[in-house]
A = this chain, B = another copy of it.
């Protein structure tokens, strides 16, 4: 593995929504002897799993077979040995779902310390309540009046921000001024998670019945890590 590859990993980013992104900042393993960057996370899994047998990395075929066996039989502990650190910018209502996944490390921007930026998530299309289940959206809404009302709703949420800004400028403390801000504003956080728990996140948040906004982030993370553990992702897709 050479430095240029590593820097490339550290800069992988996907842009989402109006101001959002998910960026793969870092990952562990850092150095696995005799491996290429491409498979390095797969190799770390194999290495951890084979400690049970007093054994290490073998041929590509045997290692791939082992990973498939581990995924199939839910031997999850070797996948915990691989860590990913992401920098995420997403709407607050997405973060509220995200944070429910507890086996992860989080550092989020604080509205008590910092004045927040005027960045809003505005969906391009709106949908009616789905018939399939009680939580999902259904078909796109074409009705002009409804769309206009939604535009006003968004415009009024932006107005909330400008009043927030004025309050801060007039000396109101940030922690109080922020309480009326809308959930479609963007927030930012660092998020560190192991591969086992990330796959769990992806299973739930890339599912057909997840809200499309968080699904986009989940799909993007999956895309960002696939190069680093292609065999794991292949087996994950096979059994889920």
Contact = CB atoms under 8 A, between A and B. Distances in A.
A79 to B, nearest CB: 9
Nearest to A172: B126
Interface string A170-204: 11111110111111100011101010000000000
B163 A156 contact: yes
10 contacts: A9-B30, A28-B28, A51-B190, A52-B114, A99-B100, A112-B211, A137-B175, A145-B170, A153-B163, A181-B183
B136 A160 contact: no
Contacts of A137: 173, 175-176
Contacts of A107: 48-49, 51-52, 77-78, 81
A36 interface: no
A128 interface: yes
Interface string A1-17: 11100110110000000
A181 B174 CA distance: 19
Interface residues of A, number: 97
A103 to B, nearest CB: 8
A1 B172 CA distance: 45
A86 B77 CA distance: 15
A83 B143 contact: no
